[in-house]
Structure 1
Amino acid sequence: MAIIAQSCSRKKDNFINRAWHSVGTEYNILYNGEIALQQGLQTVNNAFTENFWEQLPIERFEAKDEVRLGNEAENSDFERAEEKATKAIQKHSMTINGKEKNPQIDESYLLLGKARYYDQRFIPALAAFNNILNKYPTSDKINQVKVWREKTNLRLGSPELTIKNLKRHLKQEEVEGQDLADITAVLADAYLVIKEKDTALKYLDTAAVATKINAQKARYHFIRGQLYNQFGKKDSANMAFDEIIDMHRKIPRAFYINAHLAKSDNFDTENGDKLLFMEYLTELEDNRENRPFLDKIYHRIARFHQAERRDSLSEVYYNKSIKATQGDKELNSRNYLILGDMYFDRTEYKTAGAYYDSTLTNMVEKTKPYRVVKKKRINLDDVIYYEGVARAGDSILNAVSLPKEQQIALYTDYIKELKAQDSIAAEVEKKRAQKIASKASGKGNGIAGFNKPQRANLPGIPGNNSGGNTDFYFYNQSTVAYGKNEFLKLWGERKNQDNWRLSNARGNSGSGSGKEEGVEENITQLERYDPEFYIKRLPTDKVVLDSIGKERNFAYYQLGLIYKEKFKEYVLAKDKLEGLLKNNPEERLILPSKYQLYKIYLLLGQNDEAEIAKNRIIAEHPDSRYAEILRNPDSQLAKDQNNPETVYENLYRKFEAQEYVEVVASAEENIKRFEGDGFVPKFEILKASALGRLKGYEAYKDAVNYVALTYPNSEEGKQAQQILANALPALKNKDFLPEDEGNSFHVIYQFDSSNKEDIKQFKEELSKIMERLPYPDISLSKDVYDENTTFIVVHGLKYITSALGFGPTLQDYKEENTKGITKEYFTISSANYAIVQRHKNLGDYINPE
């Protein structure tokens, strides 16, 4: 016991003391600390997902943006490792005559720094590493310590310092093996941070050769391949990926598969053997070991088929990739986006919209790719709406124009498609009913040892002599329900009477008329399969047909603009506008369509067609603004006076200057002038805002509602819908608040709006006096109340007493060249002033009941 007590001392420098503390540190405290560190590191690695779609990080570690300065660990394993390292330093350090005699203390500090590093407390970690370099310069761990210190500097945003320190170390010391691999890897990481990829690649080559850890070797080679691809050196990239493939089962399978896929991306589609390449991809698909990665393999096969213009096959494989997904959101977003684009190109816009919705759910919000897809999806709403209008109009007008024989043939073909669809649906429903019936009868659905009790045999009842068989139709409620549904689909509601098959024997639902107002009566299967049923429903009234034609033509025009401006699909835009001009459109759509076609021809490089379109506009519409622009595109007159954008901007400036009467009149004029142009909704919403400033809440509400209903698919129409749903309900209340509850007050002078000179003179005089008054934050404005009344408003009075006393102060204020202001005024809180301006109820405020 005396020997043990003697050896526990940290102040005596002898073999027993050094051995006691060294062994205790290494095999007890540090051992448990290293276990805790590895457990924490495993947690970090499990939370980290390799993103092979982007350049891999050199270290499998994701640092957070913020720098943590505190001493509290977030990960309990790292906290335990830190505690063990601290305990080793505090209880086993042997500093005698300024020198550390326990050779395990430097490793304790190294463990301490690593635990803090992985817990992302980089500044405390840096302190631990610096402590080793300062106190233990001859440590056998010095290479590792310098690597960890410079990794920490890199995380703290000092790549230049990292490069400087490590390059100096390589010059001063002979470094080899894993130490060389670690140092060069950190150097490569630092050079990547400062965007010097060629230098980073040089150090990464060294790291990949020097490291003995296969997982690291695979990572370094993969990054090398990615960098070579960025430099356009596909052969060198493929050699790097082959290094990974050759390691096969020595490395994580994800690196092996992604190396194959990355190499396949470098396939020469023009000169390569496509048959051999397809066999290569098929072999990857058929390998059982690759099942966890089938989503990526299917995606690569799909891209190959798409590049070869085998769209049907590519679509099959994109969908297989989606079904085989392993939670890779980047892959899912690419699959959905490509499929959405394919359906968009086939003008199947509803399906395309659904795929774009799925794309967005797999993308990171507030990123540029997300915003691009989001904008495309929003714009697609307009396309879906107008394409629906156009198709419906084309279908109706085409059917109406056909002779009776062709109408019958048209709907006969349609009915064949209906029957095929109904047959498939009926088969599915039948199987579902049989499945339900099977469960209801207890077949194959009982619990072991417990069977459904059998029905007693009853004479004369079919099916009861078979020992409890319940397959008889009317004993099974599911099959009875199925039969009822089939009868209703075929015959509809029928009265319980003789001759029930006659059409006038159809029953009603209690409404007296057989159908509710605005709701179409049920269509029976016999009607659905009768061509005459559809022919009789075709409109024949000329007014109705003209209305359908106008809606169809306007939809064509809007689609032309949307495809041109929002999607840059110039061919689709051209087809729509050319189709519009063949459909005998309204006069208001002809000239804008011709001008838009002229611009589309230029964008498509069809200069001859553009010249023809230009000459036709000038010849057939010589006095139009379009002709003027085409004759002299650099004309300032055409640019300033005839461009709707310029007109709108000038009118908006008048709105800001409170010239509301002129804004309303000019907006109405320009709405007619630019009818059919995309700027018309802008004029409408500006007009609505001016009406609200002049006439109040109700006028504004009606005007906004008109915009929402008339232009539902424009940006302004959607804005109007938002105003109706969100803003207006909050502004509806017009009850005044108690004046003494306000925290800001106004003094207001009324003028007749026609007395512009008086208003100007009064404002100037009041402004001069206010400069000398002891009110620091007051200001002056001229506000329009309605068409006939203008206010001069003093703002910024914090107390009601200040507002009430402001008028008498002005009356008593007399200096040289001033007579004082004696004009009548009233005071009002800022909250009540907003209500007065909003609802135009000044009379109710001044003369309350």
Structure 2
Amino acid sequence: MSRYLGKSLFLLLTVLASLTGGLLSCSQYSTKPVSKGYHNLTAHYNAYVIARDQINQAEQILFQARQENYNQLLPILLPVDSMLIQSVKPQLDDAIKKASLIPERHQNSQWLDDAYILIGRARLIKQDLPNAIEVFKYVNTKGTNDDDKHTALVGLMRAYIEATDYTNALNVAEYLRNQPLNKVNTRDFYLTKAYLHERQGEYATAAGILDATFPALKKGESTARLHLIAGQLYDLIGQPAKAVDHYRQVLKSRPSYDQSFYANLYAIQSSGLTGDKKRMAQSEEMFDKLLNDRKNVDLKDKVYFTMGLLEARSGRIDKAIKFYSQSIQAAGANTNQVPYTYLEIGKLYFEKKADYDHAKVYYDSALALLPKQSPDYAALVTRKKTLDEFVQYKTTIRTDDSLLTLSKMDPPALDKLLDKAIAQRERDDKAQVALAQQIVDRATGGTSNSVPGATNSNLQPAERWALYNPIALSQGKQEFLVRWGNRLLEDNWRRSNKEASVAIAAVNSPVSGASPANSVNPNSPLQQLDVSGAPAPSNAPVDSRKTQRDAMMAKIPFTKEAQAGANQRIENALYKLGKLYKFDLNQPADAIPTFEQLLTRYPNTLQKPEIYYLLYLSNEQVGKSSSWKDKLIAEYPNTSYARLTGQTVTHTSNSEVQANKTYTDIYELYKANNTTEALTRADNALSSLAGTQLEDKLALLRVMLVGKVKGVDAYRQALTEFVRDYPASQLLPHVKEMQAAADQTTAKRK
């Protein structure tokens, strides 16, 4: 018995010793085959595979949930989106946790580099770019496998792109270009590099790299998407034939329905640029087919938009606008296409028709709906600002001209006109109240006092109040413009004879001289509605006819001071409008009559030298000969504008020496308080010093002499003329300080 127990105990100790030895030999730092085999197996199936599948699934979810904007160039790789990743964030966090087990517990595993790459991928998707960059750098530095290092470098390149660090991304790309990459890394490197060049606006390079990538891609939705992007890129660089080839490849790559739909539309657009008449003839049949397909009910606006685009490219502007209008009407609740359609109509009015009033309306509508991240947004804001200024200046001229006309009317005729305006306003107010009540009754069944259309959910969308539907509101504005043109919100707006109604609009307009010079308020404001839908009374009770007439009369400039103010506003508006035509709108032919009108109405304008110069430039630009250059040199030879013509006074080699002597003599007279003689000599010497280095210095000395001899008002005028004549002078900051001091002195005197 004791012998049996002894053998059992010995066997147990042997087993325990074997197990202990095996466990010790499986340390994650051991290099023994048994240990490495154990950790390779455990790391692969208990961590790596799980983390890899979770990340792949997250990427697939994000790909399927993507929102493509087919009105813009699609990104080759889906950009990192902090909003979309919220749905897969727990999945990514768990993948990072699983992959982190390998460096924590399996240091001797062959999956160590792969684990770090997974962690970097997950952090890249989560938009944790700094940590993703560090992980990829670590693999490249500490990794033991070249393929893994290359994979990490491709990930590093992508992270740099998302961080907009294009310099470092290009450095990584240049290094990888010379490395022996395997097939997978070659494919990913090409796609990432194409994405980099696309982000930088180098579309030709991006398209070429994509072409080299397609042989390594399998057919499927993602490949169809890349063919679609390649077509867009070739369109952007002016190679429509290659673009059409890629759009056809989309249809052969098992695309989604949207991809095939847009590939057909883009192919038609590109065919319009190739001049292929056969394909263009086929496009009409294709349009009919697309419009009649029940699957395209929600896509009809895209079809009409493409039809408009083709007409615009063919120069048929009015027909293009008609199709664009149909696109807007067909949009329904899906407004994604609408801002781009408004933008195209605005471009046609701006660039083809030079109809800036209409262009402004469509740009306003486009800007209201266009996403701020759109590449067109910043340019559209700039152009809208220009058109706002255009409308402001035109309105100021029209309004103040009308008010000046009213001020010259006989009192009986003026009273009759104002009475007519008041009577018309009362009729319009009653009609507006009745219309508002009809809308309320229809929306509420005559029983509700709520805002029409806001709370009655039983109404169909088409029956709800139009003012609560931005698309319907925009369509209404557009239809009005097409039928009536751009008209002020005024009485009798339908009349073909606008003289009386323009005059009435002037006394009703909020920009009749009371608004600031930089305000943009071309139309009178809409009346506010109360909760019942009726116009809210501005004063209760309603003003009497006498009060209304008095308010209108107060806007008419009867006094000389008021008329001078109106004329000053018109002069400034003409000056700014002319420069807007010349520089911002690039319409010198329109700038010329505007400047000429300014000189005719206000021959003593302070801007005369500049206007002469701009008229000279504008006539040269349109290829007309003119005398404005000669007039400028004859009347204002000492101005900077005369010097800009290249026809200023010439000097000998001793000119600067003589100029120094002349200036010194006049300055000595100034110091001796002999100001009258110094001013006379300065006036005579300015023409002889024109073009010398002392010209602006002598001009400033003359300004100071004017102040001493002729007083403060003449001094301020001389300062203004200096700023006008020497815009590039280094003395300008000092002169502006002198202007500010002179203005303060004048204000104190008053």
**TM over 0.5, yes or no?**
yes
Given that 2:579 and 2:591 are in contact with CA atoms closer than 8 Å, whether structure 1 keeps it comes out as: yes
Match for 1:355 among 361, 364, 375?
Answer: 364
**1:239 partner letter:** D
Alignment of 1:541-560 (within 5 A): 552=570, 555-560=573-578
Corresponding residue for residue 218 of structure 1: 224
Alpha carbons 1:353, 1:380 under 8 Å: kept: no
Instruction: Note the 1:86-165 alignment, pairs <5 A.
Output: 86-88=100-102, 90-91=104-105, 95=108, 108=115, 110-119=117-126, 120=129, 121-128=132-139, 133-134=144-145, 142=147, 146-153=150-157, 155=159, 157=168, 159=170, 162=173, 164-165=175-176
- Please give the alpha-carbon distance, in whole angstroms, between the structure 2 residues aligned to 1:675 and 1:117: 56
1:84 partner SS: helix
Identity %: 15
What does residue 77 of structure 2 align with? 59
How far residue 693 of structure 1 moved from its aligned partner, in angstroms, is 5.3
- How far does residue 219 in structure 1 lie from its aligned partner after superposition? 3.8
Partner of 1:460: none
Which of 1 and 2 has higher RCO (CA within 8 Å, sep 6+)?
Answer: 2
Match of 1:11 among 8, 21, 25: 25
1:597 aligns with 2:615: yes
For residues 684 and 158 of structure 1, the distance between their equivalents in structure 2, rounded to whole angstroms, comes to 46
Q: Which residue in 2 is equivalent to 1:816? A: none
Q: Secondary structure at the match of 1:440?
A: coil
2:247 to 241, 244, 247: 241
In structure 1, the gaps of 5 or more residues are 65-73, 449-480, 495-505, 509-513, 524-533, 707-849
> How much does 1:238 deviate?
1.3
The secondary structure found in structure 1 opposite 2:270 is coil
Is 2:322 aligned against 1:308? no
Write the mapping of 1:183-582 to structure 2, written as runs, cut at 5 A: 184-185=190-191, 203-212=209-218, 214-229=220-235, 232-247=238-253, 250-253=254-257, 255-268=259-272, 271-273=275-277, 276-277=282-283, 280-281=286-287, 283-284=289-290, 287-290=293-296, 297=303, 299-306=305-312, 307-310=315-318, 312-313=321-322, 316=325, 319=328, 331=340, 334=343, 338=347, 341=350, 345-348=354-357, 351-352=360-361, 355=364, 358=367, 362-363=371-372, 374=381, 376-380=383-387, 382-395=389-402, 425=432, 428-435=435-442, 438-440=445-447, 515=547, 552=570, 555-580=573-598
1:375-433 deviation digits (Å, cap 9, x = unpaired): 55555554334322321244456789999999999999999998997797466324124
TM-score norm. by structure 2 comes to: 0.58
| CA apart distance, 1:626 | 10
Partner of 1:79: 93
Which residue identity is paired with 1:124? V
Query: How has the CA–CA distance of structure 1 residues 678 and 162 changed in structure 2, closer, same or farther, with 3 Å as cutoff?
Result: closer
Give 5+ residue unaligned stretches, structure 2. 1-11, 83-87, 161-167, 459-530, 652-685
Are the aligned partners of 1:110 and 1:132 in contact in 2 as well (CA < 8 Å)? Answer: no
Deviation readout 1:238-288 (Å, 9 max, x if unpaired): 1012111334xx334554444345434424359455665455456555655
The separation in 1 between residues aligned to 2:309 and 2:570, in whole angstroms, is 38
Give the distance between the partners of 1:647 and 1:336, measured in 2 at CA.
Answer: 51
8 Å contact from structure 1 (residues 208, 216) kept in 2: no
- Which residue of structure 2 lines up, in the alignment, with residue 458 of structure 1? none
- Structure 1 residues 410 and 628: alpha-carbon distance in aligned structure 2, compared to 1, 3 A threshold: same
Aligned-partner residue type, residue 221 of structure 2? A
1:635 is aligned, of 636, 649, 653, to 649
| Deviation of the 1:11 alpha carbon | 3.1
Alpha-carbon distance between aligned partners in 1 of 2:289 and 2:412, rounded to the nearest angstrom: 56
Q: 1:244 to 1:642 in 2, by over 3 A?
A: farther
User: Partner of 2:85 in structure 1?
Assistant: none
Letter in 2 for 1:263: A
Matched residue SS, 2:272: coil
What amino acid maps onto 2:154 in structure 1?
Answer: E
- Give how far 1:87 is off: 1.9
Question: Higher helix fraction: Structure 1 or Structure 2?
Answer: 2
Report the Cα offset of residue 217 of structure 1: 1.6
Aligned to 2:47: 29
* Shift, 1:218, TM fit: 2.2
Question: AA paired with 2:399?
Answer: A
187 and 380 in structure 1: CA distance in 2 versus 1, 3 angstrom threshold: closer
- Paired residues of 1:660 and 1:690 also in contact (CA < 8 A): no
How many pairs were matched up? 599
Q: Which of 650, 668, 678 is equivalent to 2:716?
A: 668
| Paired residue secondary structure (2:50) | helix
RMSD of aligned residue pairs (Cα, Å): 6.5
Relative to structure 1, the CA distance from residue 371 to residue 327 in structure 2 (aligned partners, 3 Å threshold; closer, same or farther) is closer
Q: Find the residue that maps to 1:59 and give its secondary structure.
A: coil
Any conservation in 2 of the 1:399–1:407 contact (CA below 8 Å)?
yes
Relative to structure 1, is the Cα distance of residues 599 and 19 closer, same or farther in structure 2, using a 3 angstrom cutoff? closer
Q: Quick check: 1:298–1:320 contact (8 Å CA) kept in 2?
A: no
- Deviations 1:613-636 (CA, angstroms, capped at 9, x unpaired): 5567789x6989699769972436
Q: In structure 2, do the counterparts of structure 1 residues 28 and 416 end up closer, same or farther at CA, with 3 Å as the change threshold? A: farther
The 3 A distance-change label for structure 1 pair 342 and 425 is farther
Amino acid paired to 2:245: M
Question: Which structure is larger by alpha-carbon Rg, 1 or 2?
Answer: 1
Once the two structures are TM-superposed, the CA of residue 322 in structure 1 deviates from its matched residue by 8.3
Say which of 180, 191, 201 aligns to 1:169.
180
Map residues 694-713 of structure 1 onto 2, 5 A cutoff: 699=745
Q: Residues 353 and 377 of structure 1 are in contact (CA less than 8 Å); yes or no, is this contact kept in structure 2?
A: no
Q: What does the per-residue CA deviation read over 1:50-95, in whole Å, with 9 as the maximum and x for residues that have no partner?
A: 566666554334499xxxxxxxxx95533321221232454467x5
Residue deviations 1:565-592, cap 9 Å, x none? 4433222212323444565855767776
CA separation of 1:642 and 1:288: change in aligned 2, threshold 3 A: farther
How far the C-alpha of 1:43 sits from its partner, in A, is 7.1
In structure 2, the residue corresponding to 1:169 is in which secondary structure? coil
| Distance change (3 Å), C-alpha of 1:631 and 1:382 | closer
Quickly say closer, same or farther: Cα 1:602–1:109, change in 2 above 3 A.
Answer: closer
**2:390–2:577 contact (8 Å) kept in structure 1:** yes
Q: Distance in 1 between matches of 2:394 and 2:70?
A: 40
Contact 2:99–2:116 at 8 Å: present in 1 too?
yes
Alignment partners' CA distance in 1, 2:250 and 2:367: 34
Letter in 2 for 1:268: G
Asked whether the equivalents of residues 315 and 339 of structure 1 are also in contact (C-alpha less than 8 Å), the reply is: no
| Aligned residue in 1 for 2:466 | none
After TM superposition, the structure 1 = structure 2 runs for residues 771-810 of structure 1, keeping only pairs within 5 Å, are none
Amino acid at match of 1:224: A
Residues 415 and 241 from structure 1, CA distance in 2 versus in 1: closer, same or farther, beyond 3 angstroms?
A: farther
Partner-residue secondary structure (3-state), 1:355: helix
Shift of 1:601: 1.0
Letter in 2 for 1:355: D
Aligned to 2:738: 690
